[in-house]
């Protein structure tokens, strides 16, 4: 089922805000079925890169191709069908503040116009169950939720249409360790069932080590390394050394990769 | 051995086979939202139809992919319980196990039968709530003023000046445009009438009195209420949504001192000046129109204006400006601070703020008319 054409292709990407250069010559291909983790220090432009893949932001130079089509001259029908098949978890949740939890998750389903209200109800409750939000919170407004609950409801909304392409911006930030672990389990089960491609920004080494098939490291405005985790940690770069092989990183990786 | 495939039931989603008198339905293809798409209702209806046959064997092992929507479609076709004879892959098994113990959705809150009465009552209390809220805020601002008198180095001069610029200087063009046009219209309508009675020169009295005393202040106040009032409410509302108000509170900076007071003082200073400006431009427009329409010399008109309009009217107009400006800012801040952290409340609060402040402006005008009914009016008998 997995073919070798990249789903998303970034070529020679430059980004700057005013005179502040964020990315210099970024080249990255994302293939079907993989989980690509994007790491980098805070403010290195991970969220910006994700926004460019979603064509919410336009790079100063370079191209973003989705399924082989450039997003600028891509026909709208294709872009729409692609957006229907992708789910996005924003860093701050981006829940609709005027809708309650239930309606937030039901909104993308209602937009499809092919599901009945009963099916939507079952689906919403199933999604809430998956992200371990109790049914009693379904009628709450986003302003009445805790930070971690906002994250989980936003994740449920991102998963609402069982997307094939998932963009997750720090999915486990603000979750306690057991919840992070059940997030990992959830993604693993989903992947068993569906061909899921995930692009994930994360600072959480446990999640990264457990889920990612490839890792891309953003530092000094460039992608300094892209590859599988065991190869990445062998690269001699100050950020990689600090991020993966610091005290904390070693502890995590020791369990996963049998590191000395 | 009897083996028959009934061709009339061929479909990409299922196959019916009858084998040794056992009829079996084999689900095939991808039961995913993307694959089912517009077929979903139709497939659901078919499956529901098959599920009514209790002796049917279900074979789900040939399904390529199944997502939650697909699982729920099948589950609903089964009327929420498994058929007696079922073949299923373990990973799908888990999904259905999940559905089996699914909890019911919480019921939406039902409306009380007494809701018209309750709504009316709530409205009434809400009115008093707003009134006391506005008075409390005014009291707080007055206390802040007293505090500032004692600590003059803490006067928020920057904020006051910023508000002065935004609500005053930036409102000049729109008030000038509207004032000028209203002056022309007013003059055009009344000069024709007066001309037919040969009372041409009274146009100066009519224009001067109506614009300086009433129209100028009202026009300016209503425009500013729509323009600055809404932006003040929206600003405070967004600060609530983004928790900036809470951040100010925990820093020990009172909202009323840093946010409300500068707005009230700023608009209190800017408003009479805007009134003066609007009146002047409206008069200009009126005199210009009269000049063109009935040939009233503008020099004559200007030199006669002080006689026709006692200067007290100008002070009344500017007094209205001060009071209306402060009222608009106070109401805008009151509604802004009560906005709840969601976008709907933001929109509703802004609307309420503008509607209330325009009403308040007209009320204030009426009060001024009653209080100053003996001032500045030359009634010749
Ligand atoms: N709209 C914008 N205008 C100007 N600068 C921006 C804008 N958006 C982002 N930036 C800048 O781009 C840089 C990268 O921002 P980005 O949000 O992508 O960081 P990040 O890698 O996601 O960081 P974090 O891990 O903290 O979320 C930052 O220096 C930020 O100040
Ligand atoms: Mg970010």
Q: How far is CA B91 from CA A165, B87, B287, in A?
A: 21, 12, 86
pLDDT by residue (tens digit) across A21-42? 899 999 999 998 899 999 988 8
- Asked whether residue B341 falls in the same domain as residue B197, the answer is yes
Query: Does any CB of chain A come closer than 8 Å to the CB of residue B73?
Result: yes
- The pLDDT score that the predictor gives to residue B78 is 84
- Decide: A42 in ligand 1 pocket, CB within 6 A: yes
Residue B142 touches partner A, C-beta closer than 8 Å: no
Q: Which residue has better confidence, B95 or A225?
A: A225
Pure H helices in chain B: 33-36, 40-51, 68-77, 90-100, 115-150, 157-167, 172-197, 202-209, 216-224, 230-241, 244-250, 255, 261-294, 298-308, 312-337, 343-371
Closest CA to B202 of B288, B108, B300: B300
Whole-angstrom Cα distance, residue B23 to residue B275?
A: 88
Do B335 and B260 belong together in one domain? Answer: yes
At residue B106, the 3 state secondary structure works out as coil
Residue nearest to atom 31 of ligand 1 (CA): A43
> Which residues does chain A have within 8 Å of residue B344's beta carbon, measured at their own beta carbons?
97-98
Do B294 and B145 share a structural domain?
yes
User: Greatest CA span in chain B, whole angstroms?
Assistant: 121
Q: What is the CATH number of the domain that holds B27?
A: 3.30.750.24
* CB-CB contact of A12 with A25 (8 Å): yes
Rounded to a whole number of angstroms, the distance from the CA of B205 to the nearest CA of chain A is: 54
- Write down the residue that tokens 């979603």 correspond to: A54
Does residue A45 line the site of ligand 1, with CB under 6 A? yes
CA distance B68 to chain A (A): 7
For the stretch A61-105, pLDDT in tens is: 888 888 777 766 667 777 777 777 888 999 888 888 888 899 999
Q: Is residue B306 part of a domain?
A: yes
| CB count in 10 Å sphere of residue B126 | 11
Instruction: Using alpha carbons only, give the angle B221, B227, B231 rounded to the nearest 5 degrees.
Output: 130
Decide if B105 and A118 are in contact by the 8 Å CB cutoff.
no
H or E, element range at A169? strand A165-169
| Residue A247 phi, psi dihedral angles, 5° rounding | -55, -50
Average pLDDT over residues A159-188: 87
Q: What is the C-alpha separation between B238 and B28, in angstroms, rounded?
A: 52
Report the residue among A21, A46, A60 best suited for mutation to probe ligand 1: largest number of ligand atoms under 8 A from its CB.
A46
Q: Report the domain count for chain B.
A: 2
Query: Is B322 in the same domain as B278?
Result: yes
Domain assignment of residue B135, given as a range: 131-371
Going from the Cα of A182 to the center of ligand 1, the distance in angstroms, rounded, reads 29
| Cα–Cα distance list, B29 to A53, A163, B43, B63, B70 (Å) | 31, 18, 12, 5, 11
Cβ atoms of A243 and A226 within 8 Å: the answer is: no
For the record, the structure tokens of B309 come out as 């309009």
Question: Quick one: pLDDT at residue A72?
Answer: 67
The torsion angle over the Cα atoms of residues A242, A247, A252 and A255, rounded to 10 degrees, is 120
Name the H helices within A116-246: 117-130, 147-158, 177-193, 205-211, 229-232, 238-245
Option in B34, B67, B341 nearest A143 (CB)? B341
Residue B102, SS3?
Answer: coil
Range A128-133 average pLDDT:
86
B221 and B365 fall within a common domain:
yes
Using an 8 Å Cβ cutoff, are B241 and B350 in contact?
no
- Residues B282, B179: contact at Cβ < 8 Å? yes
Whether A93 is in the pocket of ligand 1, judged by its Cβ within 6 Å, is: no
Domain A32-45+75-257 architecture: 3-Layer(aba) Sandwich (3.40)
B321 in the same domain as B185: yes
Angstrom distance (rounded) from CA A253 to CA B289: 85
CB contact under 8 A, B32 and A194: yes
Using a CB-CB distance cutoff of 8 angstroms, which residues of chain B are in contact with residue A115?
40, 69
Distance A203 CA to ligand 2 centre (A): 10
Residue B127 CB partners (closer than 8 Å, separation 6+) = none
Residue A28 token pair: 């990255």
Q: In terms of domains, do B18 and B146 share one?
A: no
Q: Does residue B381 lie in a domain region?
A: no
Residue B119 lies in a domain: no
d(CA B228, CA B216): 17
pLDDT of residue B5: 42
Q: How far apart are CA B381 and CA B376, in angstroms?
A: 16
* B108 touches A: beta carbon within 8 Å: yes
Supply the pLDDT for residue B7.
40
Q: Where are the domains of chain A?
A: 32-45+75-257
Q: Are A24 and A9 in contact (CB under 8 A)?
A: no
Q: Give the contacts of A49 (CB within 8 A, at least 6 positions apart).
A: A10, A13, A15, A23, A26, A38, A218
Q: Which residues of B133-157 are buried (b: 16+ CB within 10 A; e: fewer)?
A: ebeebbebbeebeeebeeeeeebbe
Please give the ipTM for the structure prediction: 0.74
- Report the candidate in A222, A185, A219 with the shortest Cα–Cα distance to residue A244: A219
Residues near B213 by beta carbon (within 8 Å), at least 6 away in sequence: B309, B313, B316, B317, B376
Interatomic CA distance for residues A97 and B170, integer angstroms: 32
- Give the separation between CA B316 and CA B257, rounded to whole angstroms: 29
- Answer yes or no: are the C-beta atoms of A61 and A36 closer than 8 Å: no
CA distance B139 to A65: 60
The list of chain B residues with pLDDT below 70 reads 1-10, 102-106, 108, 379-381
* Residue A93 dihedral angles phi and psi, to the nearest 5°: 90, -50
CA A244/CA A234 separation, integer angstroms? 10
What pLDDT is stored for residue B3 in this prediction?
A: 38
Rounded Cα gap, residues A6 and A87, in angstroms: 18
Q: Same domain, yes or no, for B302 and B177? A: yes
* Collapsed DSSP state (helix, strand, coil) of residue A133: coil
Is B215 a domain residue? Answer: yes
Note whether B206 and B315 are same-domain residues: yes
Q: What strands lie across the sheet with B3-5, from one edge to the other?
A: B3-5, B14-19, B22-27, B57-59, B85-87
- Contact status, residue B347 vs residue B245, Cβ threshold 8 Å: no
Percent of chain A with pLDDT over 70: 95
Neighbours of B25 (CB within 10 A): 20
Residue B44 and residue B138 share a domain: no
pTM listed for this prediction: 0.78
């Amino acid at each position: 089922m997995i073919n070798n054409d990249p789903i998303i292709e970034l070529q020679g990407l430059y980004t700057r805000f005013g005179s502040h250069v964020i990315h210099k010559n970024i080249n990255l291909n994302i293939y079907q079925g993989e989980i690509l983790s994007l790491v980098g220090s805070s403010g290195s432009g991970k969220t910006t890169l994700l926004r460019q893949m979603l064509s919410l932001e336009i790079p100063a130079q370079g191209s973003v191709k989705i399924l082989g089509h450039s997003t600028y001259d891509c026909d709208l029908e294709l872009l729409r069908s692609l957006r229907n098949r992708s789910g996005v978890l924003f860093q701050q949740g981006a829940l609709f503040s005027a809708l309650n939890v239930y309606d937030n998750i039901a909104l993308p389903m209602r937009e499809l116009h092919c599901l009945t209200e009963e099916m939507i109800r079952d689906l919403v409750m199933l999604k809430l169950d998956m992200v371990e939000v109790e049914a009693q919170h379904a009628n709450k407004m986003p302003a009445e939720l805790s930070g971690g609950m906002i994250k989980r409801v936003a994740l449920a909304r991102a998963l609402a249409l069982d997307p094939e392409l998932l963009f997750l911006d720090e999915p486990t930030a603000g979750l306690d360790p057991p919840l992070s672990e059940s997030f990992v389990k959830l993604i693993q089960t989903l992947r068993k069932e569906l061909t899921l491609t995930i692009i994930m920004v994360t600072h959480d080494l446990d999640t990264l080590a457990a889920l990612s098939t490839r890792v891309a490291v953003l530092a000094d405005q460039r992608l300094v390394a892209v590859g599988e985790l065991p190869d990445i940690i062998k690269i001699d770069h100050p950020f990689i050394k600090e991020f993966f092989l610091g005290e904390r990183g070693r502890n995590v990786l020791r369990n996963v990769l049998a590191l000395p | 051995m009897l083996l028959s495939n009934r061709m009339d039931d061929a479909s990409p989603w299922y196959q019916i086979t009858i084998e040794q008198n056992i009829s079996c339905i084999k689900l095939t293809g991808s039961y995913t939202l993307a694959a089912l798409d517009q077929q979903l209702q139709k497939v659901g209806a078919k499956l529901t139809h098959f599920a009514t046959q209790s002796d049917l064997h279900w074979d789900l092992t040939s399904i390529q992919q199944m997502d939650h929507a697909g699982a729920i479609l099948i589950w609903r076709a089964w009327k929420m319980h498994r058929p007696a004879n079922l073949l299923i892959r373990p990973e799908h098994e888990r999904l259905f196990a999940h559905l089996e113990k699914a909890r019911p959705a919480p019921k939406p809150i039902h409306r009380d039968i007494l809701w018209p009465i309750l709504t009316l009552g709530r409205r009434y209390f809400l009115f008093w709530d707003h009134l006391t809220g506005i008075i409390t805020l005014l009291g707080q601002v007055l206390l802040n003023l007293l505090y500032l008198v004692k600590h003059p180095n803490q006067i928020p001069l920057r904020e006051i000046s910023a508000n002065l610029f935004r609500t005053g200087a930036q409102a000049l063009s729109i008030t000038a445009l509207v004032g000028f046009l209203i002056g022309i219209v007013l003059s055009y309508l009344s000069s024709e009438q007066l001309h037919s009675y040969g009372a041409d020169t009274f146009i100066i009295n009519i224009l001067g009195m109506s614009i300086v005393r009433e129209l100028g202040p009202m026009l300016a106040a209503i425009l500013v209420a729509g323009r600055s009032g809404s932006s003040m409410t929206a600003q405070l509302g967004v600060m609530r949504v983004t928790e900036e108000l809470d951040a100010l509170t925990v820093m020990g900076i009172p909202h009323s001192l840093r946010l409300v007071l500068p707005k009230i003082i700023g608009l209190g200073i800017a408003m009479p000046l805007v009134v003066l400006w609007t009146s002047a431009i409206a008069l200009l427009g009126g005199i210009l129109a009269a000049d063109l329409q009935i040939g009233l010399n503008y020099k004559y008109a200007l030199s006669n204006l002080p006689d026709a309009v006692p200067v007290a009217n100008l002070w009344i107009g500017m007094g209205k400006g001060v009071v209306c400006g402060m009222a608009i800012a106070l109401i805008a801040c009151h509604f802004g601070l009560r906005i709840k952290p969601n976008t709907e409340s933001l929109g509703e609060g802004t609307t309420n703020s503008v509607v209330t402040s325009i009403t308040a402006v007209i009320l204030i005008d009426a009060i001024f008319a009653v209080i100053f009914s003996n001032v500045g009016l030359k009634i010749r008998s």
